[in-house]
Structure 1
């Protein structure tokens, strides 16, 4: 059976890197499943396959009644009353989207650990076996200075999975949650596949990555030729990137890089000399920063 399906739907076969909204997971047996791209199937084919097989996209809910309501509302897109939503979500909040590289055997333990690492987390729902959502309330327990890298290192060492995050923007009103969730879910799914080596995205930078995702590879390669003279100098590029992220403040950048200000200034001048791009000028700084983001990590 599975061989015939794979042969018949060869053009539509995909994997778990496919965004969940485009994914049709058919469970053939306890051991076997096939993931198909809905965009390559007709509505009639999708409905028929769901009828014939155990479509697995909505089988990942775990949690209490509060989490169940959130899962039905956001993930399954079912009608939920405003009263029920108000009873389980108190704004302001922010959404934290996460993705793991493979199934976690101890999913419940992973969920508890994840919520413990993000203070004021009120709910965690799984969108699929490898994707989930945390609703973090912005209250007195909220900590905006979290070390995401430390959280990723902890989860990786404890559960032996690769984890990525998208830390969303604050949402002040309940009426904005559903629309914001859909947009953040869409942009995260697009960007994480284009930048698989980046461990996390934040609200301030994901839009730039989304724009980069939309640039054809051929055009991006041509643009990057502007910094070709220094493309192999990772230390120099890392220093320049920090300088740009510190709003062209050499003293602050040097402090964060644990080096003398004169050393940082020398590297900035070296970049300008070799590329002929004066990154002390704001328009040039923006262009170079976007280029550096496109070749992350550096």
Structure 2
């Protein structure tokens, strides 16, 4: 597609990252399918061609000078292409937002952020599907419950379904861009797994990345000792997984599975009888949980 466009627009450039500086002489569009951006000289584009490009891609337009300057500083810093926008002694965390729709209304999202967080957050729009919230470390820190209420409001008030990743506070020094790059990769990998979570953290993302880094020999042990004996029984695997994720709380686990507590006890006992692994003990539950994550990849 891009090669074909180059035939008609010789000035076309393909960008792999959000353009931090927009040239007023160019049209800039976002391609959500390839997650790339293209810029084309306005003088090469007719009104009809502009209409076609706008119907296929999402146009990226300049924002107000102050916000654009602040955003540019942050985006350059996160790419290790500029100095820190803040004193290096200060600490911030980045909350990454990913929207199901690829044509989010920036005005609506900005309004929602201002209503929920006031001036405590710096909002950066990255693409037509993603944005960052930058939170300084102060005496009051937003909680998981705050963010849960925020994305619930986005859905109810603006019909925008979102997922978010709550980063860890770090000093905004030269090491911060690498720290954030890791968090960005973790969030992307979590989204690609299509899990039901709406809010991600290092804690609930770590197990999946641990499995990714696990050697094939170790994975084979779990397959041989657990997955093959239970014949990859998804019902049993989901049960032990939720039992672990809910802190061995039988009542909460049964409620989330929509089953009676006696049914839950039966499934846990069945898993124990087949594998010999006691999932009511932490070490046994941990091994069973890892096996359930391996099964998900299959």
Asked if TM exceeds 0.5, the reply is yes
Tell me by how many angstroms 1:96 deviates. Answer: 0.8
The structure whose Rg is larger is: 2
1:174 maps to what in 2?
172
1:137 maps to what in 2?
136
SS in structure 2 of the partner of residue 205 of structure 1: helix
SS in structure 2 of the partner of residue 103 of structure 1: coil
SS in structure 2 of the partner of residue 99 of structure 1: strand
1:92 maps to what in 2?
91
1:74 maps to what in 2?
78
User: How far apart in 2 are the matches of 1:232 and 1:201?
Assistant: 23
2:244 maps to what in 1?
244
Change (3 A) 1:205 1:294: farther
User: How far apart in 2 are the matches of 1:61 and 1:267?
Assistant: 56
Q: Is the 8 A contact 1:60 1:126 kept in 2?
A: no
1:210 maps to what in 2?
209
Q: Is the 8 A contact 1:279 1:288 kept in 2?
A: yes
Change (3 A) 1:196 1:279: closer
Q: Is the 8 A contact 2:244 2:289 kept in 1?
A: yes
Aligned residues: 256
User: How far apart in 1 are the matches of 2:268 and 2:244?
Assistant: 10
Change (3 A) 1:150 1:253: farther
Tell me by how many angstroms 1:134 deviates. Answer: 0.8
Structure 1 unmatched runs, 5+: 8-13, 36-53
User: How far apart in 2 are the matches of 1:146 and 1:246?
Assistant: 17
Tell me by how many angstroms 1:127 deviates. Answer: 1.6
Deviations 1:38-72 (A, max 9, x none): xxxxxxxxxxxxxxxx997x867676254442233
Change (3 A) 1:138 1:261: farther
Tell me by how many angstroms 1:213 deviates. Answer: 5.0
With normalisation by structure 2, the TM-score equals: 0.64
Q: Is the 8 A contact 2:232 2:295 kept in 1?
A: no
Tell me by how many angstroms 1:133 deviates. Answer: 0.9
Change (3 A) 1:101 1:294: farther
Change (3 A) 1:206 1:15: farther
Q: Is the 8 A contact 2:101 2:160 kept in 1?
A: yes
Tell me by how many angstroms 1:295 deviates. Answer: 6.4
1:48 maps to what in 2?
none
User: How far apart in 2 are the matches of 1:262 and 1:169?
Assistant: 40
- Residue of structure 1 aligned with 2:32, choices 12, 16, 19: 16
Q: Is the 8 A contact 1:115 1:124 kept in 2?
A: no
Deviations 1:208-241 (A, max 9, x none): 2234456899x989938347457343xx655533
Structure 2 unmatched runs, 5+: 8-29, 41-48
Q: Is the 8 A contact 2:73 2:82 kept in 1?
A: no
With normalisation by structure 1, the TM-score equals: 0.64
2:233 maps to what in 1?
231
Tell me by how many angstroms 1:30 deviates. Answer: 4.7
Change (3 A) 1:4 1:156: same
- After TM superposition, the structure 1 stretch with the greater mean CA deviation from structure 2, 267-276 or 23-32, is 23-32
